[in-house]
Amino acid sequence: MNTLAYIIYLLITYLITVRVGLLFFRNGRIFIMELVHQDVSLTDAINRILLVGYYLVNLGYAALMISTWDTILTWTDLLVSITVMTGKIVTTLAVMHYINMLVIYFIGKRNQSILHP
């Protein structure tokens, strides 16, 4: 049953990671553009690097989470394991997002204080 749980978990994790990553990629461009003073090529490069880093962190985290699973014997164990592990990955995504937004906020504040002393 563990193999079935791994497949379901990785499919859910993949779908969430790709969907959220593309949303961040499309919508985050505006914030990066503001930070680098409308430099389009630099914005696109930073945005692509952030997307690749995001994917790598999430895939690595998902792989590490699989190694922590106990043996699954019942359908209830299967459902509980998938739910708990999916919850952990979503919580991690949320924390990463808020940390990134906080960093962007502080960089923007710093840039404003430099430009308008």
Domain that holds residue 51: 2-115
92 is written with which tokens? Answer: 């991690």
pLDDT at 116: 64
Q: Which tens digits make up the pLDDT trace of 51-95?
A: 998 899 888 888 888 888 888 999 999 999 999 999 988 898 888
Q: Which tens digits make up the pLDDT trace of 5-51?
A: 999 999 999 998 899 899 989 998 888 888 888 889 988 998 999 89
Residue 73 DSSP SS3: coil
Q: What percent of the chain has pLDDT over 90?
A: 35
Residue 2 DSSP SS3: helix
Distance of CA 59 to the CA centre of its chain: 9
From 61, 73, 74, select the one nearest 9 (Cα to Cα).
61
Domains in the chain: how many in total?
1
